[in-house]
């Protein structure tokens, strides 16, 4: 089944403890991106990647890192999480930029 | 940057009613998509529609790019249509999708 898989689904952590949220797609998509969703602010893009080894900042990149070493994987890294990074995170992919976008199931992150 | 405004922000419907959701955008776009976020948080792509009209079952969408708006029509609404509907646009190549704030739809039996 074609899908975007994120893990974990839920994560509770403490301030400063490094964490990684994984994202994988099995559709051979070139474009992948990360969003966070907050009440009243909607969906905002964190980082995106046009292809392997090509990443760029979205609207809210501060406090996040990404890497794209393989086409199928696009992990989101929080080196030193803070409470203001508590949010619902989504990974998404599409064949290329500008094509139909497919989302993962989301990761609810709480930073205490 | 480009502004995306959706209306109405909230909508309550009786099951079986029809509705129209609107998305206005402030600049010309290459790409426009409609998404449904169900009550469990999943985001499902409904339409990829930079221009013209498309239909999928009880849902249809029309984008009039020259007038900078798109409409999502839901006919014979069902309780499973409840959730938040987002419009997202891309102004040009190499720019990310910008999402509207969404329309929250509640369909009651």
Task: Indicate the pLDDT class of residue A99, thresholds 50, 70 and 90.
Answer: confident
Q: Which residues of B touch A92 (CB under 8 A)?
A: 43
Q: Which residues of B touch A90 (CB under 8 A)?
A: 43
Residue of B40, B83, B96, B100 to mutate for A, most A C-beta atoms under 10 A: B96
Most confident of A71-80, A91-100, B27-36, B85-94: A71-80
Tokens of A34: 């990360």
pLDDT digits (tens, 9 = 90+) for B55-89: 999 999 999 999 999 999 999 999 999 999 999 99
Task: Indicate the pLDDT class of residue A42, thresholds 50, 70 and 90.
Answer: confident
Contact A44/B at CB under 8 A: yes
Locate tokens 């009786």: which residue?
B14
pLDDT digits (tens, 9 = 90+) for B49-62: 999 999 999 999 99
pLDDT, mean over chain B: 94
Distance, CA of B54 to chain centre: 12
Contact B42/A at CB under 8 A: yes
DSSP-assigned beta bridge partners for residue B83? B105
């Amino acid at each position: 089944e074609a899908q975007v898989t994120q893990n974990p689904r839920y994560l509770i952590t403490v301030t400063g403890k490094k964490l990684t949220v994984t994202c994988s797609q099995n559709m051979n998509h070139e474009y992948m991106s990360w969003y966070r969703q907050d009440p009243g602010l909607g969906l905002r893009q964190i980082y995106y990647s046009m292809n392997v080894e090509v990443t760029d900042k979205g609207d809210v990149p501060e406090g996040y890192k990404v890497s794209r070493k393989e086409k199928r994987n696009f992990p989101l890294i929080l080196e030193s999480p803070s409470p203001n990074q508590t949010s619902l995170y989504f990974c998404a992919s599409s064949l290329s930029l500008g094509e139909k976008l497919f989302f993962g199931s989301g990761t609810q992150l709480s930073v205490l | 940057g480009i502004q995306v405004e959706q209306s109405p922000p909230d909508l309550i419907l009786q099951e079986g009613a029809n509705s129209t959701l609107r998305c206005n955008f402030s600049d010309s776009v290459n790409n426009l998509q409609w998404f449904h976020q169900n009550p469990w948080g999943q985001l499902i792509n409904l339409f990829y529609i930079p221009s013209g009209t498309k239909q999928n079952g009880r849902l249809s969408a029309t984008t009039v790019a020259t007038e900078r708006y798109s409409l999502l029509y839901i006919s014979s609404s069902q309780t499973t249509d409840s959730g938040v509907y987002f419009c997202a646009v891309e102004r040009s190549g190499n720019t990310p999708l910008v999402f509207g704030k969404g329309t929250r739809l509640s369909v009651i039996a």
